[in-house]
A and B are shown apart, each in its own frame.
Chain A
């Protein structure tokens, strides 16, 4: 023992030094154990996570069905809610979903063809009238794949069923809503419809117009001055609104069937300082729409119930309900009176 150690032992006493040593050793053991546990845990957590994913997909048999969902929609709010709903209900039913949001019809056709080659169990698609599209759909049906249309229906396709709103009723509701917004229930109304195909093949649009007209016809002072079709172009709605306003400067109400259209029209109305002067009837209940309803820029909008739509789609695909080939999703009107319920 050297003199320093001796001094140390003399200073604190042998028993205390011994105790100190033991305490220190215990402490260091604890620190070692904790560090080991932390190191181990953080290494294993990822390992576990990593293997869990591998197992779930590696086995590949944890789901019962494999579906392709092809949507041709630009409404972010609707799409987001619909997609969330699809995933949520699909998970409950052990269905694996391949969700594709296409921007043009060829992309949609490719997706369907790929799905057919990939032997999916079913396809949930938007009903769009396009010859190639319908051909691809029918080819899938030929291969024994269950095809279901959602949101919009189309002619000539042998889809198992359609899940969506009643376009005729929607047209009627929209017309009534627009007329009630007009002071003295008179004025000029323009329709702005989002459409993918020619007017005669787009069942949804046609039914909507039919329904709309069935009401406006009853009001002689109400005049449906124009019907325009917007494309998926981001600025399409704004251009169309300017066109309506140039053609009919005395327009009193514009009725839109998509979230994007009503939002674009609202921008024009604000720009031209005609808020309140031109009544806007829209679709969807996104944050922006509800804000505009509260501000009075948009008079009313329709909640298309995307969650319910997604639930029904999956239910039918899971084989729970196939009793009818037409499943109607109710739509609800949202005005300044009840916007608070939606603006969550």
Chain B
């Protein structure tokens, strides 16, 4: 079966047209009905009196026709006859009209009046005939009969008028009774149609503007940058739905686009960070290198000279001097190596040992050194070079060096769970907590420029540089901790990954 094309309000224009037309048609229909209703009421009132008016006319026609008949019979005046004829015709016409309009009560017969008028006319004609035939007796008899009939007609009309009045009164009271009800019903209709139209308009306005309002709210939110607004749902099948769907699609695509942009910028910033780190490392390395270069006058000349000194000491059998010079040479060699190459903890320990031996010569028994390795495996863990030596140097110079009497510096390497611990402890002068904090603040600061090289007793690399390089190498902030109590000593703890987890001899 073929489907009939269904009328649907699928566009705003159609819908607006439909609802507004519907409201207008409703209001107009009610107005038209009310107008017809009131007209019909007046028509009824009119019809009530039309018969009475007609009866009054008939009375006049009857009187006139009888008067003219009498005049004709007396004078034989043809004008009178014509007048009689005219009024008699009018009387008959009125009678015909009356039959159609008369409102009568039950059992009343308008034919009675019609028959009376017919008798009147018949007798009048006969009287005229008798007059023309000069039959005086017949004329008189007929005229008398006409006169009598006219009387009866008058009485009948009177009676009809009375009946009509009776009927009209009855009809009017019924009409009034009904009219009260009709009037009330009409009032209800008027009020109802006003309220109904208002509600239709309110409802339609709300129904059509609600999705637009929703859309505008969402658009406002999105313009503020909030993409987490709910999807705009529109139930109607019109342009607004199309708009809402397009809006929803647009929203999600914009959101996706922004997400992509965000991801990209995140990656970029991460790259930037990485670059910054590299730059930092490079700066620190440069700094350390500069420091070491500054202390490096002419390594070959110094080594050759030191080797000559070793040979001289051997020749003179000065063993202690020979060992001292060897240690010095080893330390120099270690210090002038490339700083961007990682070393093992073993290398660092050996370098520190050489340094300690040198220090022992310098300080004699004023400083007690001890190195304790609990786990030999840890010695293979790679780390940046020149880390332990500056720390031990600080312990000797600032810790024990500033203390009166004998001091001790100990290095303890052990495993704590998954990580290796390098502890450098001294019982020297110690530091204020503020000073420790200051060290770490400086190390975390953005000041990457190499500090002023220290002159005097040190090899030149500062603790800041050590901390920063350790953090960059192991990529953790808590790689180094300093515990110090003023007057009691300082303990520097370095946490490195155990072998296998950390980097082993890789380039920095």
Contacts and interface: CB of A to CB of B under 8 A. Distances in A.
A25 B175 CA distance: 33
A39 B189 contact: yes
Contacts, number: 132
Contacts of B148: 113, 117
Contacts of A118: 111-113, 115-116, 119, 152, 156
A54 B164 CA distance: 13
A29 B196 contact: yes
B200 A42 contact: no
B116 A60 contact: no
Interface in A16-44: 17-18, 21-22, 24-25, 28-29, 31-32, 35-36, 38-39, 42-43
B178 interface: yes
A312 to B, nearest CB: 20
Given A57-B108, A87-B107, A119-B115, A36 B182 contact: no
B178 A43 contact: yes
Interface stretch (A45-53, A195-203, A223-231, A301-309): A45-53
B100 interface: yes
B206 interface: yes
Contacts of B26: 32
Interface stretch (B207-215, B294-302, B465-473, B478-486): B207-215
Nearest to B123: A117
B162 to A, nearest CB: 14
Interface string B31-57: 001000100110010010000000000
Given A46-B175, A50-B44, A21 B199 contact: yes
A16 B118 CA distance: 78
Nearest to B198: A28
A18 B115 CA distance: 72
Contact of A60 (B109, B118, B186): B109
B189 A53 contact: no
Contact of B110 (A60, A97, A113): A60
A57 B115 contact: no
Interface in B116-164: 116, 118-120, 148-149, 152, 155-156
Given A14-B210, A57-B102, A114-B155, A96 B107 contact: yes
A58 interface: yes
Interface string B248-267: 00000000000000000000
A98 B109 CA distance: 8
A64 B455 CA distance: 155
Contacts of A28: 192, 195-196, 199
A101 interface: no
Given A35-B186, A42-B178, A46-B174, A113 B152 contact: yes
User: Looking at A29, A42, A54, A60, which has the most chain B CB atoms within 10 Å of its CB?
Assistant: A42
A32 B119 contact: no
B203 A25 contact: yes
Nearest to B34: A39
A57 B109 contact: yes
Contact of A46 (B44, B109, B203): B44
Nearest to A116: B119
A31 B41 CA distance: 23
B112 A32 contact: no
A15 to B, nearest CB: 10
B84 to A, nearest CB: 19
Contacts of B200: 25
A236 interface: no
A43 B184 CA distance: 12
A1 interface: yes
B468 to A, nearest CB: 60
Given A21-B199, A66-B112, A42 B185 contact: yes
A155 to B, nearest CB: 26
B313 to A, nearest CB: 99
Nearest to B178: A42
Interface string B69-91: 00000000000000000000000
A113 B196 CA distance: 67
Contacts of B463: none
Contact of B182 (A32, A43, A113): A43
Contacts of B44: 46-47, 50
A54 to B, nearest CB: 7
B171 interface: yes
B188 interface: yes
29 contacts: A18-B203, A18-B207, A21-B202, A22-B203, A25-B199, A25-B203, A29-B196, A32-B193, A39-B33, A39-B185, A43-B40, A46-B44, A46-B171, A46-B175, A50-B44, A50-B103, A57-B102, A58-B102, A58-B110, A98-B107, A99-B107, A114-B156, A117-B120, A117-B152, A118-B111, A118-B152, A118-B156, A119-B118, A119-B119
